Structure 1
Amino acid sequence: MTERMSDADRHAQGMTTRREVLGDAHVNRAETRKDDFTADFQDMITRYAWGEIWSRPGLDRKTRSCITLTAMVAGGHLDELAMHVRAALRNGLCPNEIKEVLLQTAIYCGVPAANSAFAVAQRVLAEQG
């Protein structure tokens, strides 16, 4: 069982993890765009997605990236997929491993979803060099 953390500690841990996974540039852009309308949402995802889930010790970040890529394809979240392809590279996946994840999604999420995902990933990988 994990120890209880205050919301402030969870937010701090989440921000550290978020920056490590997504990169400072992405997080800085999100923080710059934050306003009264979106501040609560940004706080929630920082505390829960990044401070709770991505910070848990049970899975390594490569595995979490594989799961997240699959979830993005399954949900049709292509803008988020691009962000998480970049994160997957940062978390140590190579382009061939990303390709294998996307091939797997063709079977379980459908060929049209995987086709769109391959187009997004191809664009991101070309941008990343």
Structure 2
Amino acid sequence: MNDEERHDAGMRTRREVLGDAHVDRAEERKTAFTADFQSFITRCAWGEVWTRPGLDRRMRSAITLTALLAQGHWSEFELHIAAAVRNGLTHDEIGEIILQSAIYCGVPAANHGFAVAATVLAKDTQS
């Protein structure tokens, strides 16, 4: 694939995983200063890695949640909780991912992860 094809594939995947509303907001906030970064993540993260056939989206979501929890990237973690549901993970599976992460990433991180996830998942239940 060339860069344009990777960007198009990445944008499709990004919208499917994160939802149109989030991607539209990110695109609206894009500036000349951030445009290259937005293009980079769309092509590389979404157009190259998330589109690879080796793992399904459920597995990619589980890995992403663990990595974001481990690094304390809470706004991204919150975003990817909703994405994990969109990718087919159940609330119980998300809880198991966070519990498993407590052992390897730390109890305080998992404690906060459960709080963030509970807020997002409560909204999902109301939908």
In the superposition, the TM-score normalised over structure 2's length comes to 0.97
Structure 2 residue 6 is matched with structure 1 residue 7: no
**1:125 paired residue number:** 121
Amino acid at match of 1:63: M
Amino acid at match of 1:44: F
Find the aligned partners of 1:113 and 1:123 in 2 and give their Cα distance. Answer: 16
Q: How many pairs align?
A: 125
Tell me the SS of whatever aligns to 1:63.
helix
Find the aligned partners of 1:60 and 1:75 in 2 and give their Cα distance. Answer: 23
Find the aligned partners of 2:124 and 2:58 in 1 and give their Cα distance. Answer: 18
Find the aligned partners of 2:2 and 2:118 in 1 and give their Cα distance. Answer: 40
Per-residue deviation, 1:127: 1.5
Per-residue deviation, 1:68: 0.2
Structure 2 residue 27 is matched with structure 1 residue 31: yes
Per-residue deviation, 1:32: 0.4
Counterparts of residues 71-110 of structure 1 (less than 5 Å): 71-110=67-106
Amino acid at match of 2:113: A
Q: 1:57 aligns with which of 53, 58, 63?
A: 53
Amino acid at match of 1:31: E
**2:107 paired residue number:** 111
Unaligned runs of 5+ in 1: none
Find the aligned partners of 1:26 and 1:57 in 2 and give their Cα distance. Answer: 25
Unaligned runs of 5+ in 2: none
Find the aligned partners of 2:5 and 2:50 in 1 and give their Cα distance. Answer: 15
Identity among equivalent positions (%) equals 66
